[in-house]
């Protein structure tokens, strides 16, 4: 228990006291580039989301056809077009989410954000390019294991990075007090 | 007497002499009065000064001697109603001197308000999510540590460094 006078002695007038809702341990890594595992999990979550979306839509459509059509035949050989649709939706989804704040669902859950190496948000063009590279060559992420700065092939080519940014899912209670000097 | 009165010149001279004598006399009286006044004034003032000097040296010693033998706190406690005095005191100027924001800061720090808010609003889902994230980060550090060792890198990666620095602090 510190008394108020002790608190006052250590307190620097004019200094900003920052209270954050982030867990103590997570504060130091905010804004630091994220490693392979976090990003891979985020990617799998995104892929899973798109897979559920595509397969669900397709399954629903086939189910509807089965119900309505008496002469229904089991679909066959549709794997490849479905995969293409999946790739396309993945591309659109990543483009959209990275250009609007830098987070897809997987990124939000894992507390990640995609940004340029200068720290800005990705523009639409850059996001589309990075998204396309990620969809076509997802294995580029493996380079994050080797790169000292946790950069994937896409990051190196497009000068982007993925950083930890846990804030938005937590309750927003950033209380910043600016002290005025009394004397 | 008649001779004197009849001679106008002598009468004038006499008048002059008398008036001169009168003015000399009144001057003397004034001088005397002034001298007397000055003397009295000087005497009074010097007495006062001497008295003050004596009091200046004597009174503190005397008062100190008295006060050191008396417990003023006791006297005030016995004879003065402190609550009454405080009740009459003007609060606003006192409050103006109180560092409110610093006190608020101190309170927040002392009761650890951020963690209270976290615990009350975060809930289980948030804790699960943090756990998942931390696990991923720890796996990352483990894996990148192996990779870095394979490549004979001495310096740790930024994410690993930050977390381990934090852990040393705790």
Domain residue spans of chain B: 1-89, 100-170
Q: How confident is the model at residue B37 (pLDDT cuts 50, 70, 90)?
A: very high
pLDDT at res. B8: 74
- For A7, which of B106, B160, B163 is closest by C-beta distance? B106
Q: Please check the confidence at residue B3 and state whether its pLDDT lies above 60.
A: no
CA–CA dist A164, A27 (Å, integer): 10
Three-state secondary-structure class, residue A17: strand
Query: From the CA of B95, how many Å to the nearest CA of chain A?
Result: 13
Torsion (CA) A119, A121, A126, A129 in degrees, nearest 10: 100
pLDDT at res. A70: 73
Domain segments of chain A as ranges: 16-22+29-176
Query: From the CA of B162, how many Å to the nearest CA of chain A?
Result: 6
Q: Please check the confidence at residue B59 and state whether its pLDDT lies above 80.
A: yes
Q: How confident is the model at residue A174 (pLDDT cuts 50, 70, 90)?
A: very low
- Give the highest mean pLDDT range of A159-163, A165-169, B68-72: A159-163
B150-167 pLDDT tens trace = 888 888 787 776 665 544
In percent, how much of chain A has pLDDT > 90? 38
Q: How confident is the model at residue A179 (pLDDT cuts 50, 70, 90)?
A: very low
CA–CA dist B22, B16 (Å, integer): 10
Q: Please check the confidence at residue A172 and state whether its pLDDT lies above 50.
A: no
Mean residue pLDDT of chain A comes to: 82
Provide mean pLDDT across the span A120-133: 92
- For A35, which of B106, B144, B170 is closest by C-beta distance? B144
pLDDT at res. A12: 65
CA–CA dist A34, A2 (Å, integer): 37
Three-state secondary-structure class, residue A161: strand
In percent, how much of chain B has pLDDT > 70? 85
pLDDT at res. A2: 76
CA–CA dist A124, A98 (Å, integer): 8
Q: Do B141 and A35 touch (CB under 8 A)?
A: yes
Provide mean pLDDT across the span A103-132: 90
Q: Where are the beta strands (DSSP E) in chain A?
A: 16-19, 112-116, 160-164, 175-178
- For B159, which of A27, A34, A146 is closest by C-beta distance? A34
Q: Do A145 and B143 touch (CB under 8 A)?
A: yes
Mean residue pLDDT of chain B comes to: 83
The tokens for A19 are 């209270």
**Comparing B115 with B2, which gets the higher pLDDT?**
B115
pLDDT at res. A129: 94
Lowest mean pLDDT among A119-128, B17-26, B68-77, B111-120: B111-120
Query: From the CA of B120, how many Å to the nearest CA of chain A?
Result: 10
Q: Do B101 and A36 touch (CB under 8 A)?
A: no
Contacts of B124 in chain A (CB under 8 A): none
Provide mean pLDDT across the span B98-109: 85
Three-state secondary-structure class, residue A88: helix
Q: Please check the confidence at residue B96 and state whether its pLDDT lies above 80.
A: yes
């Amino acid at each position: 228990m510190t008394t108020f006078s002790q608190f006052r002695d250590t307190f620097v007038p004019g200094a900003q006291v920052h209270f954050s809702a982030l867990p103590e341990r997570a504060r130091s890594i905010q804004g630091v580039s994220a490693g392979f595992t976090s990003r891979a999990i985020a990617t799998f979550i995104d892929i899973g989301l798109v897979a559920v979306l595509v397969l669900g839509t397709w399954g629903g459509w086939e189910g509807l056809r089965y119900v309505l059509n008496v002469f229904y035949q089991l679909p066959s050989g549709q794997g490849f077009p479905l995969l293409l649709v999946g790739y396309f939706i993945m591309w659109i989804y990543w483009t959209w989410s990275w250009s609007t704040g830098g987070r897809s669902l997987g990124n939000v859950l894992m507390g990640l954000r995609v940004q340029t190496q200068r720290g800005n948000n990705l523009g639409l063009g850059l996001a589309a390019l990075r998204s396309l590279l990620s969809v076509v060559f997802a294995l580029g992420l493996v380079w994050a294991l080797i790169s000292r700065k946790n950069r994937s092939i896409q990051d190196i080519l497009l000068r982007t990075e993925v950083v930890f940014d846990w804030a938005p899912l937590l309750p927003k209670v950033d209380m910043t007090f600016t002290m005025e000097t009394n004397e | 007497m008649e001779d004197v009165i009849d001679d106008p010149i002598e009468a004038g001279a006499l008048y002059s002499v008398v008036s001169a004598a009168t003015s000399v006399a009144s001057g003397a009286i004034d001088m005397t009065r002034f001298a007397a006044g000055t003397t009295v004034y000087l005497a009074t003032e010097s007495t006062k000064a001497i008295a003050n000097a004596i009091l200046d040296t004597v009174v503190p010693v005397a008062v100190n001697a008295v006060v050191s033998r008396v417990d003023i706190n006791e006297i005030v406690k016995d004879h003065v109603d402190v609550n009454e005095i405080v009740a009459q005191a003007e609060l606003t100027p006192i409050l103006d001197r109180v560092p409110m924001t610093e006190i608020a800061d101190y309170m927040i720090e002392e009761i650890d308000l951020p963690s209270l808010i976290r615990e009350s609003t975060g809930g289980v889902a948030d804790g699960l999510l943090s756990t998942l994230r931390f696990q991923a980060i720890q796996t990352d550090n483990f894996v990148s540590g192996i990779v870095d060792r394979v490549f004979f890198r001495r310096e740790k990666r930024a994410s690993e460094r930050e977390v381990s620095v934090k852990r040393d602090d705790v």
